[in-house]
Amino acid sequence: MRFITTRLRSRRLATVLSGLLLATGVQAVTAPEAAAALPEISTVYNNPAGTVEEQQAIRLQIQSLINSAAPASDITVALYHMWDETTAQALATAHTDRGVNVRVLLDSTSVSDNPSNGSYGILQEALGTDRTQASFVGLCPQGRACLGDPANGASINHNKFFLFSQVDGASNLVVQTSSNLTPSQYSRMRNDAVLLQNIGIYNAYASYFGKLSAQDWDSWSYTTATFSPYKVYFYPYVPGTGNSSDTIWNILDDVTCTWTEGTTTKRTKVRVAVLKITRQGVADKLVELKKAGCDVDIVYAESDSAASSGSSGTWETLHTSGGPSVRCYNYDEDNDATTTNSTVHSKYLLIDGKYSGTVNKLVWTGSHNYSGPALRENDEALLKIDSTTVHDQYVTNFTAVKAAAVPGTADNTAACKGV
């Protein structure tokens, strides 16, 4: 398993999370008795083509944190799907054996789409469902997100974050990932996770969870919180219409593609790895940046075509002459239409160059696809990280994802075009 750690504070590790493998070599490690500080921020990526440990890198990281949660501490989870009885049992045991306060909020389809899975039942028995208590498991309303306006139609709680108030070597820890806890996420899909210790960001996520739990969609509005060098954005983005109230469009609109340092012309690099890109404005902006001189490189799994969307189509836009480098990662490697395709499931944007007037390296990652529902209807979170080291770790992952992408540039397929 690949466990890539970025140290932003000078603190020595005196413990290694049980069950994890280090990036320096595939070898099992056992946590020593003495626990000490984890780094302020670290990143984890799974590899569906690797060993079981590499496939389950994010899952094992989360389980290790659950198992090391301090007695009477807090674990808070907002997740689309949990079809992982082992992880559910770990959460239940943390509560029943160590008195950990565990709050879990899932999309309703976590139960309705897979009623034979016992994860919800395990949590329900251990935690109860009373949201006035310190521990509970709950579902968003059937057919919609917890904060999605019913007038906007079907929506989902698409969040994928975990909060730990105290674990071995860390406090106020946020785990923001692109991965659900389901088997196909480990064995078929490329995902990422960020582990971040920051009390301001932790409290912002905790406040958002409270609003999700209360389900007061009528008073909800798009919310952001900044605690430098981090920023978090919480969805759905309402009220708002058009590109001017599209987070990703606005980020891209703040990019300067070329600038001069001395006698040298510099060029901004924009990299995107995302499951779905169907917002026309975002596709238009990516093409615009490429034509303005940026290097734009995209790995995606699903777009929409003019034939299916009734408009210009993001697939056609991204493949316009002079447009960005585009590779699709969405293929049926076992030739079985009943199983999940192998895809990129991450949702991250990397900028290396001039952003908001400053030369920098930045990462945006989370649960947020570049689709209409992700912007206006779904419960989602997007995390911004201002860190050269973290950015470069993501570039390493992006290179691996791009190399694994099939059908790659031969992406004139129904799956890639969303038809």
Q: Is the pLDDT of residue 2 over 90?
A: no
| pLDDT of 312 | 77
User: With pLDDT > 70 as the criterion, what percentage of the chain qualifies?
Assistant: 90
Please write the tens of the pLDDT for every residue from 201-259.
Answer: 999 999 999 999 999 999 999 999 999 999 999 999 999 999 999 999 999 999 999 99
Least confident of 15-19, 198-202, 212-216, 263-267: 15-19
**C-alpha dihedral (327, 330, 334, 337), degrees to nearest 10:** -150
3-class DSSP assignment, residue 184: helix
Please write the tens of the pLDDT for every residue from 67-122.
Answer: 999 999 999 999 999 999 999 999 999 999 999 999 999 999 999 999 999 999 99
User: What's the mean pLDDT in 330-352?
Assistant: 95
Please write the tens of the pLDDT for every residue from 135-163.
Answer: 999 999 999 999 999 888 899 999 999 99
User: What's the mean pLDDT in 274-283?
Assistant: 98
Domains observed in the chain: 2-220 (3.30.870.10), 235-417 (3.30.870.10)
DSSP 141: P
Q: What Rg, from alpha-carbon coordinates, does the chain have?
A: 21
User: With pLDDT > 90 as the criterion, what percentage of the chain qualifies?
Assistant: 87
Distance of CA 407 to the CA centre of its chain: 23
Helix-helix angle 119-127:85-98, to 10 degrees: 10
| pLDDT of 174 | 98
| pLDDT of 325 | 98
- The Cα–Cα gap between 46 and 2 comes to 7
The residue whose two tokens read 């791009």 is: 402
- The Cα–Cα gap between 375 and 255 comes to 21
Q: Among the residues of 56-134, which ranges form H helices?
A: 57-67, 85-98, 109-112, 119-127
- The Cα–Cα gap between 379 and 390 comes to 26
Asked if 401 and 370 touch (Cβ cutoff 8 Å), the reply is no
Asked if 410 and 297 touch (Cβ cutoff 8 Å), the reply is no
Q: Is 25 exposed, middle or buried (0-12, 13-18, 19+ CB in 10 A)?
A: exposed
Helix-helix angle 57-67:85-98, to 10 degrees: 10
| pLDDT of 30 | 38
DSSP 243: G
| pLDDT of 37 | 85
